[in-house]
Chains A and B, each alone.
Chain A
Amino acid sequence: MIKANKLAYEYIRRDEEGNVEGIIRALDGVDLEIKKGDFVAILGHNGSGKSTIAKEINAILEPTEGTLFVNGLDVSDESKIWDVRQSAGMVFQNPDNQIVASLVEEDVAFGPENLGVPSPEIKQRVAYALEKVGMEDHRGSSPNALSGGQKQRVAIAGILAMKPKCIVLDEPTAMLDPGGRREVIKTLHELNKKEGITILLITHYMDEVTGADRVIVMDDGKIVMQGTPREIFSKVDEVKSHHLDVPQVTELAYELNKRGFRFPPGVLTKEEFINALLG
Chain B
Amino acid sequence: MTMTETTLTVNGQTRTLDVEPRRLLADVIRQEFDIAGVHIGCAHGACGCCTVHIDGTPRLSCLTFAVQCDGRDIKTVESLGGFDATHVLQLAFKSEHGLQCGYCTPGFLMTLVPYVEENVARGTLPSDEDIREAMSGNICRCTGYHGIVAAVRKAIGDQIGGGQ
Tell me whether A and B are bound partners. Answer: no
**Which A residues are closer than 8 A to B by beta carbons?**
none
